[in-house]
Amino acid sequence: MMSAIIRPLGMLKSYIGDLEETTIEAGIPVREALTTLGINPDLVAGVFVNGEQESKDYILQDGDVVKLLAVIGGG
C-alpha cells in the first residue's frame, strides 16, 4: 500500500493519541485524510508537504511527509 506520513503539530497531536506521526493511505486529498483521522479541516491553518506549503486539496503521494499547523485559537 502506498502511504504518506502525517505529522500534526501542537494541539492537533491530540487527534492521533499524542503520537508524533501516523501514516495514511496515499492517493487521497489532504482534506480527506484529515477527515479520516477525525481532524476537522477547519482546525488546520497550514499544510506543508515535504517542506513546501500546499493546499488541503493536494493529493497525497507515496512517501510524502505532511506537517499540519493548527489554527491559533482565540477568545
| pLDDT tens-digit series, residues 39-56 | 999 999 999 999 999 999
Residues in Cβ contact with 42 at an 8 Å cutoff, skipping those fewer than 6 apart:
71
Residue 8: strand pairing partners: 68
CATH of 3-70, one of 3.10.620.30, 3.90.1150.10, 3.10.20.30, 3.40.80.10: 3.10.20.30
Q: Please determine, for residue 73, whether its predicted confidence score (pLDDT) is greater than 70.
A: no
Task: Record the pTM.
Answer: 0.91
Task: Please tell me what DSSP assigns to residue 60.
Answer: P
Q: Please determine, for residue 30, whether its predicted confidence score (pLDDT) is greater than 90.
A: yes
- For residue 74 the three cell numbers come to 482565540
Average pLDDT score over residue span 3-24: 96
Domain definitions of the chain by residue range: 3-70
